[in-house]
Amino acid sequence: MWFPIVVLIAQLSAAPAPVQKAYQKLTSQQIEAKRTTAQPPKDARKIDVSAKIRSASFGHKTWLIVAPDGKQFWVEYGRSTNTKAGVFGPFSVDEAAAKPIESPPPPQDPKLK
């Protein structure tokens, strides 16, 4: 059970720290809202951050494409059984890192009021 998590962490650690943090803060809805047809720079670094799964028929490959200056990145999803491949972004490292993670308010106990 721990092996896939360790592998994902090891792969993601190949990305620069600010890019890692920015990518981890993005939700899938935020990523998929920025589909692009423009290609990232040719000299950008491509890092595989796919979750390792046992069946090849589920999920898709995921890559972070990091600009040479490290200030922008793109997310590329490979083709899967039910979705087409696509490139999303660019995402600014500063912009994504500055956005707080949206979480629901803590539950309220009606007895405490």
Q: What is the pLDDT of residues 48-80, one digit of tens each?
A: 888 776 555 566 789 999 999 999 999 999 988
Cα distance between residue 43 and residue 3, in whole Å: 32
Cα distance between residue 28 and residue 77, in whole Å: 11
Instruction: Give the lowest-confidence range in 24-33, 59-68, 94-103.
Output: 94-103
Cα distance between residue 104 and residue 84, in whole Å: 31
pLDDT of 87 above 90: yes
pLDDT of residue 92: 92
Residues 22, 26, 27, CA angle at the centre, nearest 5°?
A: 165
pLDDT of residue 103: 59
